[in-house]
Structure 1
Amino acid sequence: MSGTSISETPALTPQFCFNEKLLRDFLRLSRSTIDDSITQNLNALITPAQEGFDPSSTAVRQTDSRGQKVIHPEACQGFKENVLFSSWQTRSDVLNYCAGVATSPDPDDPDLILRENESARDRERVVDERLDPYSGRFFPKEPRTESLANLVRNQRMVEEIIRARTWGLVSERCGAGSSWEDALNSWRHKHQR
């Protein structure tokens, strides 16, 4: 992942997806750069020097969010289109690709032979549940495609939560009226992704 910026899609290969640590790290880093620091990102869009310094602003401590300055609409739109939506789309692309990998046959599964051997041994076992009620239990190792499918499903739920939270803050500060899904779909349509 070195040399890849946050908004760039990493090289999408089955190896990338099956390396669950690398996949999680990419998603975590992308989220922390954009979504987890959304307040700082939005504050950075404000240019206080435009209005000049108001000495009365220091007379009263600003403790509520209503005191926050409105961000210029062009700055908001540029941030949403060039940073936020492209980051979300990159993560969607990665999750969609890895979901496809998870539902495809995996001829290179390194644990396939191990699972087949475990299954064969299980079929040969003689089980007397009267002597040992737990002897009938058999928990084969999960195929890596199944593990990847679970990871992708969980990460998609995390994306839903994070995007809703981020969009709430963006809407509050930028005045966006639509849902994040509608806004992202509109952006996708404009950019033909």
Structure 2
Amino acid sequence: MARRRGDTRERIRSVALELFAEQGYEKTSLREIAERLEVTKAALYYHFKTKEDIVASLFEDFRAEGEELLEWARGQQPNPASRREFVRRYAEIIEGPGKEMLRFMQVNEPAVRELKAASDLRERMRSYAEFMVDEKADLPDQIRARLAILTLHMTHFAMRDTAFSEDELHAAALEVALGLVPGDRPGPPAE
């Protein structure tokens, strides 16, 4: 029975994300989600009382993956190699459990700002930046460290009007992100 309940929750979340992408978060009602699922509103309420509850559950999954990554990072010596591995692992999250969540956030950015779960995500991003670069690093390296992570977030959005496949975009974004890891670039050319 627990398996079936979990499947229903996943279907609800998936359909909600589809509708949020099609119509926007604000314009989508629980009734529309229930209709798309072909269930009663009461059946939907059994799993989620509000749209925000649905989104909060998605953020929670994304948060849990991020917490596992931070736990790994806490056991590492921060250096270019461990930071590159951090970026690779984060890219896996973005391509896996975080993929739909990021799409939701990009399409519904104004609504996301109002959700409590979004402020938690901003705090997590700060924690990622702390691992990615020493706080005493110069400003360009601090920017590079944050852009390494943001590159993984924004590439699909920034390149959505191109003919590249999602796999091509993901691979290219990872390549760019890895190139931004502080301390991982060759120095200026010798004169």
For Structure 1 versus Structure 2, the TM-score category normalised by the shorter chain is: 0.3 to 0.5
Per the normalisation by structure 2, the TM-score is 0.41
Per the normalisation by structure 1, the TM-score is 0.40
Considering fraction of residues, name the structure with more helix: 2
Flag the structure with more relative contact order, 1 or 2, with Cα contacts below 8 A and sequence separation at least 6.
Answer: 1
